[in-house]
Chain A
């Protein structure tokens, strides 16, 4: 810290008082520089905000945009991309329903129809449902936990790019007429080398690999963030229920995704180099696919559903103006659902002829998994009972969720029984069941949470009246579409048929379903239009327009790039309701470098100050390298060998150990 004006001073002789004045100014400058490395009582307000913004913002321009590691930007991208895929998947559904509106219809031929339902299922399950939950979590969890960034922000960026490239590959294949046509679960031997010639099933299997890598990466990010990056004082017991839900979901992803990666990898291997994993003639087994796929597939639906229960807990708490009843019960229910979900997968295979005694265990397990969910529902209803509910749009979606999801859960109990499942499996009854639990149980809360967190993300409220109209359109459209499917399943309509004969009684239910689909489509369009218009003309929202209790509402809307000016300290599970005036905060984090506070896992005592990586292009480059390897390996096994080179380069550059060339910290006096 040399005095820059020393030369000038020496060169020109000056009067005594002027020299003193300059000296005093220099001393003041040096003092200030010593004090402003960390936030604290001496650095706050606008000056603190400016310093934090300088430290945390990413480089401007396209490179900075591609290189961002800001969880809010990545979360927004996830959500918007997932909504895009939702619309594409919905268009597939609309086309399917047009073909099924009438018996013996020839609007869409068999092969195209098979591609449509494969694209619909794969898009909704792999490219919409899980990524949108991850995206919302990636955006809101650091805010909810009172920290400035997720753990592993570059891995977060990598996860998004892998997801994007996987989705683009699948839809690019659709445009190029190599869309998969084997159904979203691609049973072997239909998806094997003999019965699915060409590259369609390979495209599907590699899309799985992309999205599985992306989901695993996001799960690692979320687990670490939730366990280590919470605000001081936010013990596990005080952690919001949505964070608990995402913790359970992230661990479930880590345990279940490898199974589908394995089985799709084995399928690619069978198709590419002639291995015999699924070839019964060479002592492989067609059922191996089903076991491995459903070992992933069943937890997958809970991976989609549990974040939605987190959403419901958030909305019920805010709109009933009291904490959720039975906080501990809900947490235990989330954990036990997550664990039990791994023991149910054979209920997808009740018709395959495995020993009946074994099936009874899966019937019992499948029924018992509804107990924790039933408990959660009780807790929400008890919160409503003891609270003061307000019927704003998110609460409407909560009510819609309860009305709809419980029906789905009950039909699920029906198909858990083997004798019933043997009639209902692979019919439209099951289609009705899973749409009730997936749309009722996940999409309704999702639409509610979009309305709820829209002000936080964008700074404006969504239009209330349009929101209410959207809700009713979605509700009516959904039930009109899917309730008749219970009947068409019972009347003998199997799944995945591009047409059905007249005279079986299926005409009326199918026509009603098609009409309902149009109402649903209108509802989605209206919701999106509401979002787009509210972006520019919505009522400006303050930091906490709903009067909610959790930490994300303690900062401005939208949050600044550094989330919080000071890291808050938490003393209860509803911090904003329990503190008069300003929240207590911790000070002492650096403001000249990106840094977050890590806390201990259970008690959230301050533990470490962790530097946060700067914006970097290597996640994008790494994702492109890996993406090229995956796509090329559809055509040749050599891609896996030669692809190690670009991947190796990208990852070496990403992980290259950096000398900590940080500015040495000044000593604080």
Chain B
């Protein structure tokens, strides 16, 4: 198993952990953190491929990662503000109780 593959497995492990957390935690903020973790894992994937990939001079991997980080940050901010607004409305952050969209 090459280094690339090991890095990839690591990133997929991180991804699954983040996914598990997003699927199972009740607290909305922790779900968001899980999503952040998944994004991190994806970034790690990018860098690994940049390092061991075919064309590292183009710096594509790094660029993409930089943008991804900034976007993740923006999205975290917006998401948390939404959670705050929802908290003010329903006095809870329990995801199970935010089911007014049910069919």
A and B physically associate: no
